[in-house]
Every structure is written in structure tokens, then in C-alpha cells.
Chain A
């Protein structure tokens, strides 16, 4: 790669250059797939168009480990940890936040369709102007005094989660010149096994920034990428109150009780 600027705030490359790099990597993957290379079901740790990954991805292969007892379990969370009120991000302050009120709901499953009950889901996001309550985010968009953008939920016995929030806006970042992130909500998830731990981002359907966003595009597989996009679900919308999005989350397979059907 040689001359790429690894300063995360350099904003040196143009969108055209970044898009060309993304396109080349995707084409390379498609060609490898056509010749029998394995399907990539997650994001690449090494994805140069996302400049911050350059110095922060391992260059050596991950070392295979058989999970031992601690890896076959996850920490337990309960009502001591999470109040039901934390599932509504619109009631954390004295007034109503500005923006489009939405409900996001779905199921937390493992690869074998088993729901993951009573487990912690953490979400965080920018506000309706694309601004985070974080001192590193200083771009000129307004803070909403009625919106922090942090929620916690415990999945129910059927592995379902639901929370109420404001639809976040896209925001600029400095990966390259005039770079904008697709609108997203961050999710942090636990499974039954600690090896299922995942942090990811949920996106909204039809976002025009998808093609331009190297974080989203770091998933080289088109079908895998689409798994991060929620569906608009009118059954979650409520009369004169909110619109709704549904997003099911699938964790990697559990090793604890995994017996049959290896992944294909």
C-alpha cells in the first residue's frame, strides 16, 4: 500500500479514490468467489479504504483455539443491571428530543435459530442532526439537550428486543475528503458463549450513502452487507406516534451445545 496516509484525520483522499479502492476489493472478492474461495460473512479486519484499519488489524492469521469453559459462557445480566426505562431513548431528559420517533425491534438468534433470552443489548447513536454526545465529535451540528443516544435492553424469553429512539442522521468524518457515514445505530451484543460477542451497526433501508461508506463496504459480500440493513415494518408503527424498523440479529454458532450440522 506504501504511501497511504495513516493519520485518521488526514482526509487526504477524494471520495472517487476511496470508491475506486472499494470497487477493486469487491471485484477481487467476486472473482475469488467465482473460483471457489470461501464466502466472507463478516467485515474484513484489513480494509485499506477505511484508513483507520491500516495500523490496527492483525497481520498474522488468527490462532485457532478450542473454547474452554470461560469461552463457552457469557456473563449474566438481569434487572439489577438494566432498567426497563433504558429501552426508551426519548424519555431521558426533561423534554422531547427533536427528530423522527422510531421503534426498532427484532430477535437475537444464534446460527441454529435458537433465541438468545435474557441477554444484554446495548445501543448508541447520533441524534437527528448527526451529532454524538462525545467530546471527539465537534462538527458543527447541534447537540440536542433532550437526547443522549444511549440505551440498554434485555432480550425477553423469546430472544426479542425492542427500543424507542429518534432516527439518527448521517454525519461527516475524516476518513477522506467530504466523507459521510451512512445513518446507523451501534449495537453491542452478547450470546450464550463469549465467542459470540459482537459489536456492529444497524442501517436504514435506502440510504444513498451506502455505496460511499468504507465502513459499510468493508463487508465484501453483498448478501452479508445487506444483513445489516433493517426493514421498515409498518406493524411496528403506531398511529400518530412512531414509525418502526425490524432487524433480526444472528450471532455466530454456539460451541457449547453445537452438535450437528457444521456451518456450510
Chain B
């Protein structure tokens, strides 16, 4: 018989002295030839910035390989571990320095897996941050095709003038980000508001 899963509880407001670590947001050095900034702001249901969220990204490398290397918590400056963590700042803004992931499977579009924790959020939320530059790849992606067209843009980052990737997270509201559920992963939304 299967074991019942341990329930989640919020990360709370007091994770700042415990979970963030030096270099957590820097998966590669800024001087890496393929370095890109992935950044944005986390918003609540009233459109106010959330100043006490914690974000993690987990991604393939540029060639679509899933990293298996240790050392994320004490980066050596050379090894790409694929995982990063950062708290948002007092304006709800986050920023990672990384490389763009390659696709791991033919016929799918590459993405960063983004995980959101916050005070007030009882369980982590997953979303995917897709790269914006190849409309054909995005159109052909089976997962994106399963998302209603109206909400699909919430999963696609935007390229700014400096080449950075911008991705805002809306926990709730008109522009609510599409958050994901997976088989075997318990998550209880409770009654839907509307």
C-alpha cells in the first residue's frame, strides 16, 4: 500500500536567514559568454508586489542536458548545476543570472522550471518559463497547446532591449500565471473563488 504524503506548510515570513545563500541567484557568472538575466516581479491578487517570496529555477543546460553535478550551495564558478534560488527584494523583484536551457526532447520547447514559495502561500507553486524567440517551437509544443490560448502568454518570457528575459509572476487575478499540477503530486486548491 502507498504511504500517504506529508502535507505542505507555508515557507512563512522568516525564511530569509535560512534558505537564501550566497550566489544562489547566479547559476553562471555574468561574464559567461552565454549569460542571460531572467528577472521579474511577483504580484498578489491586488496587483501589489509580494516582498516575501522565494523563487527557485531548475533547468537543463544550453545543450538540453539535465545537470547531475553537485555544488549549487557552494558554487565553484565553473560547474553548471542547473539550480538556483533567490528571495525577491523589498519591491517583489527577483533576478537570476543563468544560461538559456536547451530542449531536452525533440518537438518540445525549452523552459526554466520556476517554483514559487511565499508567506501566505501554503504550498509551493510550479510554473514553466518558456523562451520567447521561436514562435514555431512554441506553437508545436504539446504542453503549451494544452493551455487555453488566452492564458498561454503567462508562461512565455519576454525579451527586453538588453537581451534579458522578463517573467512576472501573478499569484492571482486577471493575469494569473498558469500554475502546474503533476501526476502523483498532491496539491489542494480548496474551493475556487469564482
Contacts and interface: CB of A to CB of B under 8 A. Distances in A.
A149 interface: yes
Main secondary structure of the interface of B (DSSP, over half): loop
Nearest to B143: A65
B123 A43 contact: yes
A250 B143 contact: no
Interface string A210-241: 00000110111001110110000000000000
Contact of A78 (B11, B18, B71, B113): B71
A45 B123 contact: yes
Contact of A195 (B147, B185, B191): B185
Contact of B105 (A68, A152, A194): A68
Contacts of B113: 70-71, 194
Contact of A65 (B70, B128, B172): B128
B189 A65 contact: no
Given A71-B113, A136-B14, A44 B190 contact: yes
Contacts of A3: none
A198 interface: yes
Contacts of A62: 125, 179-181, 187, 189
A76 B2 contact: no
B183 interface: yes
Contacts of A242: none
Nearest to A126: B14
B124 interface: yes
A69 B101 CA distance: 12
Category for how many chain B residues contact A: 35 or more
A167 B89 CA distance: 31
A111 B9 contact: no
Given A42-B123, A199-B124, A252-B184, A227 B172 contact: no
A128 to B, nearest CB: 16
Nearest to A195: B182
Given A68-B108, A77-B72, A57 B171 contact: yes
Contact of A219 (B7, B72, B108): B7
Contacts of B18: 122, 124, 149-150, 186
A250 B6 contact: yes
A81 B172 contact: no
Contacts of A252: 5, 184-186
A200 B58 contact: no
A45 B10 CA distance: 9
10 contacts: A46-B190, A53-B121, A54-B45, A59-B173, A77-B73, A78-B70, A149-B18, A199-B8, A199-B117, A252-B5
Interface of A: 6, 8, 40-47, 50, 52-71, 73-78, 80-82, 109-113, 120, 122, 124, 126, 132-137, 148-150, 152, 184, 186, 188, 194-201, 215-216, 218-220, 223-225, 227-228, 249-255, 258, 261, 263-264
Given A44-B188, A134-B14, A200-B9, 13 more contacts: A41-B5, A54-B120, A57-B190, A60-B192, A69-B60, A70-B60, A78-B70, A113-B3, A122-B19, A134-B13, A186-B11, A186-B12, A228-B7
Interface of B: 2-19, 44-46, 48, 50, 52, 56, 58-60, 66-74, 81-83, 101, 104-105, 108, 111, 113, 115, 117-126, 128, 143, 146-147, 151, 171-173, 176-194
